[in-house]
Every structure is written in C-alpha cells, then in structure tokens.
A and B are shown apart, each in its own frame.
Chain A
Amino acid sequence: MRMSSKRTFNPARLTRNVVLYAILMVLVVVFGFPLLWTLSASLKTIPEFAEYPPKLFPISPQWINYWTVLNTPRVPVLTWLLNSSLVVVLTTIGTTLTSALVAYSFARFNYRGRDFLFFITLATMTLPAQVTLIPQFILFFKMGMINTLYPLWVPAWFGGGAFGIFMLRQFFKSIPRDLDEAALIDGAGYPRIFWSILLPLLGPALATLAIITFIASWGDFQNPLLYLNSPDKFTVSIGLQFFNNAPEVGGVPMRHLLMAACVMSMIPTVAIFFIGQRYFVQGVVMSGLKG
C-alpha cells in the first residue's frame, strides 16, 4: 500500500476522516431511508399505516401482508411476478445468445457488407428508440399480439441490440485466432467452434450482458404500458402502476400491501446484482471507458 508510510498518528488526517465518514453516514440515510421506510410500511397494519405521525417501525411486523398480497384476486401480484420472470428470462437468454452469434460473425468472418452492417449497428445506438416505437406497435397490432407477452421478448431473439453485439465483438477479438484455427484443422465446424470453444471463454462477458439485460428488462415500464391491457397479462412494473391507481379496490385500503408488492418487485434485481456484482460493475465501467 502506498499509504502505509503515512499510517502514523496524524490529527489532521483523523479529522478529515471523521468528516468524510459523517458525510457518508448522511448519504446512507438519504439513499437508505426511502427503502427502509418502504419495508417498514409493508409490515404495518391498516390502522398503523394511516397513523399520524407515522411510526418508523411497526409494533409487530405483519409478515402476513406478503402472503395476503399474493392472494388478492383484484391485484394478482403473483401472476405479475411470474409474467415478469418469463419475459425477463426469455429476453436475457435471447439477447445473450443471439448477440453472441452476431458478434462472432462480425469478429471472425470476412464477407461483403460486413463493415457496412457493423456501421448500421453502431448507428442504431445513436438513434432514439422512440422513433421505432409506433411502427413496432402497429406491427404487433397487425399480428394480433397486443395484450400478449410476445412483443416484450421476441425482439430480443433477433440479435439482442447494438450494445450487446458491440461489447461481445470486443471480447471475441481479444481471444487468439489460433484457437479457432487449431479446432478447424482438427475438423470442427464453425457452429461447434462457437458453442464448445469460444462461448465458454466468453463467460464473464456473457454474464455482464445478461445482468445488464436482466435489470433493464425487469424494470421496463414503457413497453408493457403500450402492449398489455388486462391485469392477468401485466408484468410487475405495469401491475404496480395499476395497483397504485386503484389502491382501495373493493373498498378495502391496501396501501400497505402496495408497499409489500413494491418490496417484492425489488428483490430479483437486487439479488441478481449481489450475485453478479463484479461482472456488472465491469460491464458498466467498460461501456463508459470505451465511449
């Protein structure tokens, strides 16, 4: 450690660190309080929820709220969680798999039009997706796919998008070509080389892309808002909006249950982040430093 020479007692340094930790603690409250408050509100009873001044912690935490919210027919939170899971899993697999295929093509093969195709790929990154929103909606409308989950995950299976292709192409380029050529001489075909030799080496990059895709897809609100219109088809995001607009369905106040649903909506992304934090941070940083 570079600092070790300065590790003797130093009053100025101590004061500085105390000030820095004090600032950090204030920030912990700023970032942590809204989340803590949501958790606490989700564990309150109905009267406790309406109390003034609001208590920070409920007297006896009502864990049953989480069970209740999963079994309230008017707001089928369990169905929403399952729908979201389906969409997210299919989107994530589709994006990682097909963008790896396309990246392999860009990184390893020579053919007419490749560089032009790659140029268009990069160009789609600068054009806002809003321009394609209306025609895509019309397309899915004409295909009778409104109020189904297809529009949310099918596009991911067609190359996954420029970001993933670009990122994985960089990784393919960092793997020595000798490896492919040796396998080719041994009689392996290109699909085999891709699947058995290169893909395993790409593990960390695929994990990065998968986590980024997972988080973005889970939180997506705009697409479900356009495509879904009956509660049994909702994903979590659009479901929470529906719940929020009708928090007292059937005359029973359910805002504490809404808070429980919010907490549940956070669990998958936070869990995925903790499992794959290293890859995620790497991916974000890489996208930023390349830019």
Chain B
Amino acid sequence: MQPTQNNNAGKLATLLGVKTRFQVNGALWGYVFALPWIIGLIIFWLGPIFASLYFSFTEYDIISDPKWVGTANYVKAFTSDPQFWPSLGKTFYFTALFVPTTIVGSLLLAMLLNQKLYGTNIFRTLFFIPHLVPAVAIAVVWLFLMQPRLGPINTFLRSIGVENPPLWLGSSDTALESVTLINVWAALGGNNMLIFLAALQGVPQDFYEAAEIDGASTSQKFWKITLPLISPSVFFVLILTIIAALKVFTTAMIAPQTPGGPSNATWFILVHIYHEAFLYLRMGYGSALSWVLAVILIVFTIIQNVTAKRWVYYENE
C-alpha cells in the first residue's frame, strides 16, 4: 500500500504544481483562501461576460426565453436606432468638454496647493468635500442652484447686470454644458488632485534649483521639469477620467428635470442602455449596446497605452 499512497501523493503534488507533502498542504490552503474570489469571478464576472455576449445576439425580455437573432441587435444599433448615434455623439462631446477641463483644473489646483502657504491642508480638505457628497445629492442641489428663475446663480448673474441669464438645465441648448459644469465641480478637488499633489511633491527640489541657476523661467521649469516628471500620474489620471466620462450617468438622469434632459440633450449612451434594457426590458439589445460601449472603452485604453510610450517618462527605464 505504501508505495501507491506515495504515488498518489506525488500525483496530487504535480497536479497542484508543488513538490513536497508540506507544500501540498500549503497549496490546498491557498485554494481555500482564494475560493471566495474564484466563485465570485465565475458568478459575477466570467459568467455574466459570456452571458451578455450571448444575449447580445438574442431578443430577450427576461420573462420568455432568449431568441437567437444573429447580429440583428448590432445592425439595429448602427443603422436604424434613432437614439444610438446621437447618444454616442453627446457622450463624446461631454468627454471632450469634461476631461481637459478637469485634468488641467485639478493640476492647477494641485500646483496651487503645492505652494508653501499656511493652511493648505485645510484648503485641500475643503476642496475635496464635493467628492464625498453622493452624486444624487450633488445633482439635486445643483438643480436648485441652477433654477432659472429663483436659483442663486441666476439671481447673482442678474444682480451684476446679465439681462438674460442662461436657462441652464432647463434648456436643450445648455443642459449638456450644465451637466458638465456640475461634474467638473464635483471632480476638480477629488482623487485626481490628490494624485497630482503627491506626484508634484515627489519631484526632487534639486532639479528646480539647478534650473534656476541656469536661469530657467517659471514656464520653462513647468514644461521641462514638472510635466515630464509627473507624466506617469497624468497618464493614469487621463485614462481613469476618460473612462469615467464615457460612463456619465447619474447627473444626467437627475439634474435635468426629465431623465436624459430637455429634448434628450443629455441622453448619453449609458442613459440609453438603461432605458433600453431596464425600462423597455430589451435585455438583448441592451447587452449589444453594452458591448459597443465596452469595445469603445477598451480601444481607448489600448490607444493610450500604445501612445504612452512616446510621452510618458518612467524613471527606471
């Protein structure tokens, strides 16, 4: 019996990718500790990913069984859905407004807080608070602030002589810009600024001193020293901000009086997916739209990773 048992133990060890019996014990414990995530990955990630890929080729209202329709959902999105292209266009327009504003804004804010002034910690905390407020509360509050007739913003604008202040969220001309403004306000002092601040504090002071001796101007110091040295953080923040912008949802649903805004001015892609999948119960079509969004997000990430090599400076390379 003894040799067979050893042989079995040997097989188990090979199966688990280890050598001794002691290591077999360790490997088994390794699986035990990883088990919650292995189950979670299957139930909440891998299963759903394949399921949604399958659903995207079906017609499915959740009650009756999914019906295979081939590529009809994708064809519908690209050719006959009147909301699809406009919703993508609005999402990209929002992204184009939001991303540069927040990134430049948070960087400026971080540079301001990086000056050696008293009380910068207090200011940092204060600027961060909007980031802690639930997005719904932010949207509700700004709806009141931007109220065209009674709101404090237009009251202020009238008091300084603006005769016809904008209708903000109430008009299809300005709703998207207003939603952008709200999001910028909420994001400016948040995580991005903290990351920039830490990056700025990591730039060695000697570089600036050497540059000063060589007679470099303030702008030269920024473009030639600061920006290259913090470029990994800028790159990281850029990816996260673009992805977040493409997924804009909460403010667009709540701040304008109707979800999606007046004349659908803030009918972004995620608003569209939400309506199709969860209000009209077109789960198949909603899945197809989700995959279109996923592909866009993945393409953005790849493009950035490829171009990053050209402009991001990594110290240890």
Contact (A262, B140) CB under 8 Å given A31-B127, A134-B286, A288-B191: yes
What are the residues of chain B within 8 A of A41 when measuring CB–CB? 144
Is A111 within 8 A of B27, CB to CB? yes
B104 beta carbon closer than 8 Å to chain A:
no
Contact (A240, B243) CB under 8 Å given A110-B18, A110-B23, A155-B40: no
- Encode contact with A along B201-219: 1 for CB under 8 Å, 0 otherwise: 0100100000000000000
Interface of chain A residues 237 through 291 with chain B (CB within 8 A): 237-238, 240-241, 244, 255, 258-259, 262, 265-266, 269-270, 273-274, 277, 281, 284-285, 287-289, 291
What are the residues of chain A within 8 A of B227 when measuring CB–CB? none
CB distance from B94 to the nearest CB of A (A): 16
Is B270 within 8 A of A273, CB to CB? no
Is B29 within 8 A of A218, CB to CB? no
- Encode contact with B along A31-47: 1 for CB under 8 Å, 0 otherwise: 11111011001000000
Docked Cα-Cα span, A194 to B247, in Å, equals 38
Is A31 within 8 A of B145, CB to CB? no
Docked Cα-Cα span, A28 to B128, in Å, equals 11
What are the residues of chain A within 8 A of B277 when measuring CB–CB? 133-134, 137
Q: Which residue of A lies closest to B193 (CB)?
A: A284
Contact (A134, B287) CB under 8 Å given A27-B127, A104-B33: yes
B41 beta carbon closer than 8 Å to chain A:
yes
Is B45 within 8 A of A244, CB to CB? no
CB distance from B285 to the nearest CB of A (A): 10
Docked Cα-Cα span, A121 to B47, in Å, equals 14
Docked Cα-Cα span, A138 to B284, in Å, equals 11
A176 beta carbon closer than 8 Å to chain B:
no
Docked Cα-Cα span, A139 to B283, in Å, equals 12
Q: Which of A133, A262, A281 contacts B194 (CB 8 A)?
A: A281
Is A132 within 8 A of B136, CB to CB? no
CB distance from A161 to the nearest CB of B (A): 8
Which of A18-26, A67-75, A200-208 is the interface stretch?
A18-26
What are the residues of chain B within 8 A of A120 when measuring CB–CB? 41, 46
Is A221 within 8 A of B189, CB to CB? no
B169 beta carbon closer than 8 Å to chain A:
no
Docked Cα-Cα span, A117 to B144, in Å, equals 48
Is B152 within 8 A of A128, CB to CB? no
Is A131 within 8 A of B62, CB to CB? no
Which of B69-77, B82-90, B293-301 is the interface stretch?
B293-301
Q: Give the size range of A's interface with the partner.
A: 35 or more
Is B191 within 8 A of A284, CB to CB? yes
- Encode contact with A along B136-163: 1 for CB under 8 Å, 0 otherwise: 1100111111000111100100010000
Is B136 within 8 A of A241, CB to CB? yes
Contact (A138, B270) CB under 8 Å given A244-B140, A288-B194: no
- Would you call the interface of chain B mostly helix, strand, loop, or mixed? helix
Q: Which of A131, A158, A165, A259 contacts B291 (CB 8 A)?
A: A131
Is B283 within 8 A of A269, CB to CB? no
What are the residues of chain A within 8 A of B290 when measuring CB–CB? 130-131, 133-134
Is B185 within 8 A of A32, CB to CB? no
Q: Which of A104, A135, A165, A259 contacts B47 (CB 8 A)?
A: A135
Is A111 within 8 A of B37, CB to CB? no
Is A266 within 8 A of B133, CB to CB? yes
Is B293 within 8 A of A128, CB to CB? yes
Is A135 within 8 A of B194, CB to CB? no
Docked Cα-Cα span, A194 to B301, in Å, equals 36
Docked Cα-Cα span, A240 to B16, in Å, equals 52
What are the residues of chain A within 8 A of B198 when measuring CB–CB? 285, 288-289
CB distance from B132 to the nearest CB of A (A): 4
Is B136 within 8 A of A221, CB to CB? yes
A3 beta carbon closer than 8 Å to chain B:
yes
CB distance from B31 to the nearest CB of A (A): 6
What are the residues of chain A within 8 A of B33 when measuring CB–CB? 101-102, 104-105, 109, 190, 194
Is A132 within 8 A of B249, CB to CB? no
Known: A52-B155, A139-B48, A269-B134. 14 other contacts (CB 8 A): A21-B117, A27-B109, A54-B150, A101-B33, A106-B34, A127-B294, A131-B294, A132-B49, A132-B52, A158-B37, A219-B135, A238-B136, A289-B198, A289-B199
Lowest 3 CB-CB distances: which A-B pairs, in order?
Answer: A158-B40, A109-B30, A159-B37
Could you jot down 22 A-B contacts, CB within 8 Å? A27-B109, A27-B112, A38-B141, A54-B155, A109-B29, A127-B294, A128-B297, A131-B291, A139-B43, A157-B36, A159-B37, A159-B40, A221-B135, A225-B274, A240-B134, A244-B136, A244-B140, A262-B137, A266-B132, A273-B132, A284-B191, A285-B198
